[in-house]
Amino acid sequence: MKQKELQSGQVGLVLLVVMGLLISLVLSVALRSLADTTLSRQERESGAAFSLAEGGIENALNELRQGTVNTGNVTIGDSTGNVTGFYKVQELQSHSLYLAEGDTAQIDLTDYTGATITLRWTKKNTAEDPGCGVEGSGTVPAAIEVTQIPTTGATKRAYYNPSSCHAALTTSNSFAVSSGVNATYLSAKNHPIEVGSEGVLRVKMIYHGATLQVVGAAGSPLTTQLYLVKSVAGGGDAKQEIEVKRGLDASGSVFDYAVFAAGTIVK
C-alpha cells in the first residue's frame, strides 16, 4: 500500500512539473505572439507617420515652387484618419547650407544697405577640410567664386582662397586671401557690396564642397534667403518629424558666364 501511495505521489509530482512546463511554454508563445503583434503595429504606425510627414514636405516644397509660403501650421492626415500631423515653412534671413563642389548659392540683395556682407565657409574638424594638398578637386578645402549681378551696371567677380592654404595656392590661382578667425568656419570674408545696385550675389564652391554661411552686416538685415520646411506626423505610438532646407530659386552655375541681350548679339 505504501509503495502504491509513493508511486502515486511521484506521478502527481511529474504531472505538476509537466503542467508547469506546458503552462510556461504556452505563456512564452503567447507573450512572443503579443510582442510580434505589437512590433508589427508599431512598424505600420511608424511607416504611415513617416509617409505622411514626407508628404507634408512634398506639399510645402510644391507650394514654394508656386510662390506660396505657409508660415502657419497646415494640417495633414491620411485616408484612415489614424495618422495626423502638420507642416509649416519658416523664412530664414541668413544662409547656412552645404554646397557640393561646383554648386552655387544665390543670395538676394534686395533692399540690402550694408557696404559688406559676411561669407563663412568650410566647417572646421570635419570632412569638409581635407588639409592642404596639391591644388585640385578634393585635395584642398574649398575656395569660392563670388559673383555680384547688380540690377544696373556690370557683373563683378571675386575669388577667395581657403585661409589655411592661401600661401600654397595663390602662386597658381592668384585668388585673394580670406581670414580664419571664426571658431566654427575655416575661412571667412567680409565681401564688399556695391550699394545702390544690389541685385543678387552668387557664391560657387571650388576644389571642395563646404557649408556656406552668409550673414548681413550689423544693422543691415538680409531678406529671406532660405526656407526651413518642417513636417510632423504621428499616430498610435509613432511620431515622425522631417526638416529640410530649400534655397532661393536660381539658375544653374552654367549660366554665370552666359551673355544675355534683348536683341541680336553681333560678334
Q: Give pTM, 2 decimals.
A: 0.74
pLDDT tens-digit map of 150-178: 887 788 899 999 999 999 998 899 999 99
pLDDT tens-digit map of 51-71: 999 999 999 999 998 988 888
Alpha helices in 127-213 (DSSP H): 166-173
pLDDT given for residue 59 in this prediction: 95
CA-to-CA distance for 63 and 74, rounded, in angstroms? Answer: 12
pLDDT given for residue 94 in this prediction: 87
The length of the chain in residues reads 267
SS3 content of the chain, % helix, strand, coil (to 5): 30, 35, 35
**Of residues 225 and 6, more confidently modeled:** 225
Sorted by where each begins, the domain ranges of the chain are: 1-91+230-247, 94-223
pLDDT given for residue 263 in this prediction: 60
Alpha helices in the chain (DSSP H): 2-65, 166-173
CA-to-CA distance for 18 and 10, rounded, in angstroms? Answer: 12
Model confidence band, residue 1 (pLDDT cutoffs 50, 70, 90): low
CA-to-CA distance for 29 and 36, rounded, in angstroms? Answer: 10
pLDDT given for residue 125 in this prediction: 93
Task: Give SS3 for 247.
Answer: strand
Pick the CATH number of 94-223 from 2.60.120, 1.10.3470, 1.10.287, 2.60.40: 2.60.120
pLDDT given for residue 43 in this prediction: 84
pLDDT at 224 over 70: yes
What is the b/e burial string over 45-78, where b = at least 16 CB atoms within 10 angstroms of the residue's CB? bbebbbebbebbbebbbebbeeeeeeeeebebeb
pLDDT given for residue 82 in this prediction: 87
Q: C-alpha angle 195/200/202, rounded to 5°?
A: 120
**Of residues 120 and 235, more confidently modeled:** 120
DSSP state of 179: B
- Average pLDDT rounded to a whole number, residues 228-255: 87
pLDDT tens-digit map of 82-135: 899 999 999 998 889 999 999 999 999 988 988 999 999 999 999 999 999 889
pLDDT tens-digit map of 173-187: 999 999 987 889 999
